[in-house]
């Protein structure tokens, strides 16, 4: 008989992994879960309410902000800003770091997030998601955090995960003790444990990449994708192409079924701090891997808040195979 566990109970149990835990971590994640329930409610009725479509705002990356993007951003900032558990925040939708509201208690955690990734898919009813990364404050003294607290390698994250707003709303997260999935029961308003200790297959049969960018790919990527398409049944090829164009959706499918997601270089499109690093922690905790093609994502020292990075992420053997193609290209170039 499967256990009934809520996310609150699970977070409370996870807190015991933290030396000197004071309940602050539980309070932070509880506030994040609350904001996701509010966002989920709005996403699921977006077609009805007048919150589809675009605002007149352009974000820090020159992208048009949708009404739901803005709603998600504000919801998270209001829920976390007054939780008293964070000293600084950063978001894809904010050019600069986000200080805590005047007069609110400052905490020891740093929260970085993409409030609604894949939001261009909202008006076609494709799944979208919220991605979050949690670090501890490292700058000297209590009180307000700084950019230094945000620019930490992903290996220092204390927790990471995402919410996916799809046929159901799920939360998938890790605190370094495995990866666990919870499904929202709207009738209870509770996230219930549905995927305990997720392990991603060592090798998949799915590859996810925007084939429309083929002319921009470097040689190792072109050779690798051609390799995946070869008709070699006994080696499990060809792979199938699955690409929704919503990072959380493509990542979540591959996490459960196995496979590899690629948004290759030279610069990439995806952001290190609040997309690549948190998903890299999740996938490594599930037995997978995350790389730029030549470096482990979690080892990268961030240089700027919205730094882009090539992202190759998913099944361990598939990522290693891509890295081998890159290594061979570098060796040939060096000859
Ligand atoms: P492209 C959505 O806009 C997003 O940021 C990610 O969710 C997704 O993986 C990627 O961009 C898709 O980018 O260039 O293939 O449309």
CATH assignment of the domain containing 281: 3.40.190.80
C-alpha dihedral over 204, 208, 211, 213, to 10 degrees? -130
Instruction: Please tell me whether residues 151 and 235 are part of one structural domain.
Output: no
Angle in degrees, CA 260, 266, 272, rounded to 5? 65
> For position 233, what pLDDT does the model report?
92
**pLDDT per residue over 298-329, tens digit each?**
999 999 999 999 999 999 999 999 999 999 98
pLDDT the model gives residue 62: 75
In this model, does residue 241 exceed pLDDT 90? yes
pLDDT exceeds 70 at position 109: yes
Given the structure tokens 């482990």, which residue do they identify? Answer: 296
In short, whether 246's Cβ falls inside 6 Å of ligand 1 is: yes
In a domain, 2, yes or no: no
- The reply to whether 234 and 300 lie within a common domain is yes
- Provide the sign of the torsion angle of the four alpha carbons 271, 274, 280, 282, taken in this order: negative
Separation of 63 CA from ligand 1 center, angstroms? 12
Per-residue pLDDT tens over the stretch 136-181: 999 998 899 999 999 999 999 999 999 999 999 999 999 999 999 9
Q: Is the CB of 126 inside a 6 Å radius of any atom of ligand 1?
A: no
pLDDT at 247 over 90: yes
The pLDDT, as a whole number, for residue 231 is: 94
Q: How confident is the model at residue 64 (pLDDT cuts 50, 70, 90)?
A: low
Domain assignment present for residue 200? The answer is no
Task: Work out which ligand 1 atom sits closest to the CA atom of 212.
Answer: 15
Domain assignment present for 121 = yes
Domain boundary among 168, 195, 222: 195
Model confidence at 242: pLDDT above 80? yes
| 35 within a domain of the structure (yes/no) | yes
* The last residue of a domain, from among 174, 195, 216: 195
The predicted structure's pLDDT at residue 45: 77
| pLDDT band at 270; cut points 50, 70, 90 | very high
Task: Examine the domain organization and report whether 77 and 178 are in the same domain.
Answer: yes
Verify that 181 and 226 share a domain, yes or no: no
Task: Specify the higher pLDDT residue, 17 or 188.
Answer: 188
Residues of the chain by 3-state class (helix, strand, coil), percent to 5: 35, 25, 40
Domain at 57, CATH number: 3.30.540.10
Q: How confident is the model at residue 229 (pLDDT cuts 50, 70, 90)?
A: very high
List Cα–Cα distances, 298 to 3, 30, 292, 303, in angstroms. Answer: 33, 25, 10, 14
The mean per-residue pLDDT over the stretch 217-233 comes to: 96
Task: Write phi, then psi, for 191 (nearest 5 degrees).
Answer: -85, 120
Quote the CA–CA distance of 277 and 297 in Å, as a whole number.
6
Model confidence band, residue 17 (pLDDT cutoffs 50, 70, 90): confident
Q: Is 245 in the pocket of ligand 1 (CB under 6 A)?
A: yes
> With 60 as the cut, is the pLDDT of residue 50 above it?
no
- Asked whether the predicted pLDDT for residue 61 surpasses 90, the reply is no
Average pLDDT, the chain: 92
Provide the pLDDT for residue 47: 57
Q: What is the pLDDT of residue 221?
A: 97
Of 146, 163, 195, the residue at which a domain comes to its end is 195
Same domain? For 12 and 107 the reply is: yes
Q: Which of 247, 254, 290 to mutate to test ligand 1, by most ligand atoms within 8 A of the CB atom?
A: 247
Q: Is 120 in the pocket of ligand 1 (CB under 6 A)?
A: yes
Q: Which domain holds residue 327?
A: 206-334
| Same domain? 173 vs 232 | no
Tell me the backbone φ, ψ of residue 187, rounded to 5 degrees: -70, -25
Q: Are residues 143 and 215 in the same domain?
A: no
54 and 130 belong to one structural domain: yes
Query: Which pLDDT value is given to residue 23?
Result: 84
| pLDDT above 90 for 52 | no
Residue 201 lies in a domain: no
């Amino acid at each position: 008989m499967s256990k009934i566990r809520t996310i609150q109970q699970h977070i409370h149990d996870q807190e015991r992994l933290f030396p000197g835990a004071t309940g602050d971590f539980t309070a932070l994640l509880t506030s994040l879960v609350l904001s996701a329930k509010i966002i989920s409610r709005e996403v699921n009725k977006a077609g009805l309410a007048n919150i589809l479509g675009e605002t007149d705002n352009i974000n820090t990356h020159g992208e048009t902000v949708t009404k739901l993007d803005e709603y998600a951003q504000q919801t998270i900032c209001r829920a976390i800003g007054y939780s008293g558990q964070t000293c600084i925040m950063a978001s894809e939708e904010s050019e600069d770091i986000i200080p805590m509201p005047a007069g609110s208690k400052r905490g020891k955690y740093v929260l970085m997030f993409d409030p609604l990734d894949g939001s261009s898919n909202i008006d076609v009813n494709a799944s979208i998601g919220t991605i979050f990364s949690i670090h501890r404050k490292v700058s000297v003294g209590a009180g307000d955090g700084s950019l230094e607290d945000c620019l930490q390698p992903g290996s220092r994250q204390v927790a990471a995960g995402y919410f996916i707003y799809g046929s159901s709303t799920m939360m998938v997260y890790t605190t370094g003790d495995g990866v666990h999935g919870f499904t929202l029961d709207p009738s209870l308003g509770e996230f219930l444990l549905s995927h305990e200790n997720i392990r991603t297959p060592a090798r998949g049969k799915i590859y996810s990449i925007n084939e429309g960018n083929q002319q921009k790919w470097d040689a190792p990527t072109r050779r690798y994708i051609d390799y995946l398409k070869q008709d070699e049944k006994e080696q499990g090829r060809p792979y199938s192409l699955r690409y929704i164009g919503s990072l959380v959706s493509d990542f979540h499918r591959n996490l459960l079924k196995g496979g590899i997601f690629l948004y290759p270089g030279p610069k990439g499109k995806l952001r290190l701090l609040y997309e690549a690093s948190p998903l890299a922690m999740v996938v490594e905790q599930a037995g997978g891997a995350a790389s730029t093609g030549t470096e482990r994502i979690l080892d990268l020292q961030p240089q700027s808040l919205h730094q882009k990075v090539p992202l190759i992420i998913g099944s361990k053997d598939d990522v290693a195979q891509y890295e081998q193609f890159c290594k061979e290209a570098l060796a040939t170039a060096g000859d």
